[in-house]
């Protein structure tokens, strides 16, 4: 399987830490996530690594209204250790007056865990380019399955705001590119709901979105991801959410994967994009499921059986002791089902 990578992933290394009541939180999105995935895949002869291509800025800027904001703030910093925390969108129903920064011109971020530093724009753009490179190869018929080793993740970045460690939506950018060549299905298997991806396409019936995730009654992103969210207007029925309760294990997770696969078959897309997060693992520090490492091979095989040109984009997964083996199991299961 072809693996698309960027060498600049290590330049974005947030160091935030804060306390909330009796608990202390610090970022789990470190460069080591990519390092352990690469090490696991490089030890297997079945993977070939290639560099991401460069794409024009307009591929990102036309979808993300905050593109120029992220670029201006990031490239305007001189100290690589400095982190800027954007003004935040008030909580839904908060009825707070918005304060617009006179220079940066907007409020685009949903939380205080997605800071901007000197290299954030460069690295976030590189992550999206990995996904776009994979999409381009599928669209040209040069590859049947591709894994894009994206970091930072993207599925919480939407058409209005970014957040949740995500700056640009890698999957949405790739899906928009592939939609010019046929119908697209996006399946998000990360522990957290792909709210940004859903919002990008909730009014489009040519892109079917599906997400398996922790119940938003209890888990981030809270305001999105409920089962009744099925799409808007002409696209009603083109979105499927499969929230699961905290503590869900292998059987419940595999059952949701089967339901998602059945829905994708019914939609009959020309391309499949998998937003592959592994914070569903039992030992993940910010997840709440109990999925075991070996189960990801079954997940990969189930999705490979859809027999579609497939782009797999890396999303979450924050226990670096197990992450590499989780990704390897998923990709090996996917490849074995395809006979590769």
User: Is there a cis peptide before residue 221, judged by omega within 30 degrees of 0?
Assistant: yes
Q: In this structure, what DSSP letter does residue 242 have?
A: E
Could you confirm whether 156 is annotated as catalytic?
yes
Beta strand pairing call for 17-20 and 23-26: antiparallel
**What is d(CA 172, CA 178) in angstroms, rounded to the nearest whole number?**
10
DSSP-assigned beta bridge partners for residue 313: 148, 275
Catalytic residue among 156, 192, 193, 281: 156
DSSP string, 4-54: EE-GGGGG-----EEEETTEEEE----THHHHHHHHHHHTSTT-EEEEPPP
- Long-range CB contacts (within 8 A, 24+) of 219-224: 219/191, 219/192, 219/193, 219/246, 219/288, 220/164, 220/192, 221/110, 221/156, 221/163, 221/164, 221/192, 221/193, 221/195, 223/92, 223/195, 224/193, 224/195, 224/198, 224/199
**What is d(CA 321, CA 244) in angstroms, rounded to the nearest whole number?**
25
DSSP string, 147-183: EE--SS--TT--SS-BBTTBSS-HHHHHHHHHTTTS-
8 Å CB contact between 131 and 178? no
Q: Determine phi and psi for 151, rounding to 5 degrees.
A: -155, 130
- Active site residues per annotation: 156
């Amino acid at each position: 399987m072809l693996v698309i990578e960027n060498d600049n992933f290590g330049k974005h290394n947030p160091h935030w830490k804060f306390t909330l009541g009796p608990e202390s939180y610090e970022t789990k999105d470190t460069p080591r996530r990519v390092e352990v995935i690469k090490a696991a895949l490089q030890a297997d002869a079945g993977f070939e690594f290639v560099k991401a291509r460069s794409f024009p800025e307009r591929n990102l800027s036309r979808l993300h209204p905050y593109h120029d904001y992220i670029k201006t703030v990031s490239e305007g910093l001189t100290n690589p250790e400095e982190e800027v925390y954007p003004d935040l969108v008030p909580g839904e129903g908060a009825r707070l007056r918005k304060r617009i920064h006179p220079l940066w011109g907007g409020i685009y971020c949903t939380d205080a865990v997605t800071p901007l530093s000197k290299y954030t724009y460069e690295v976030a753009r590189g992550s999206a380019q990995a996904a776009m490179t994979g999409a381009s190869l599928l669209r040209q018929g040069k590859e049947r399955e591709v894994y894009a080793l994206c970091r930072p993740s993207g599925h919480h970045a939407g058409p209005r705001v970014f957040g949740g460690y995500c700056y640009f939506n890698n999957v949405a950018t790739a899906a928009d590119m592939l939609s010019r060549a046929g119908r697209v299905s996006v399946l998000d298997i990360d522990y957290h709901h792909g709210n940004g991806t859903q919002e990008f396409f909730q009014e489009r019936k040519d892109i079917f979105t599906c997400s398996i995730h922790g119940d938003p009654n209890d888990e981030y992103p809270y305001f999105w991801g409920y089962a009744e969210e099925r799409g808007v207007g002409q696209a009603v029925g083109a979105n499927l959410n499969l929230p699961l309760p905290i503590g869900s294990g292998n059987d419940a997770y595999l059952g949701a994967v089967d339901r998602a696969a059945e829905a994708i078959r019914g939609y009959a897309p020309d391309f499949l994009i998998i937003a592959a997060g592994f914070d569903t693992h039992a030992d993940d520090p910010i997840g709440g499921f109990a999925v075991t490492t070996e189960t990801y091979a079954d997940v990969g095989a189930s999705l490979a059986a859809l027999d579609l040109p497939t782009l797999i984009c890396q999303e979450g997964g924050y226990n670096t002791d197990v992450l590499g083996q989780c990704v390897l199991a998923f990709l090996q299961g996917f490849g074995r089902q395809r006979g590769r």
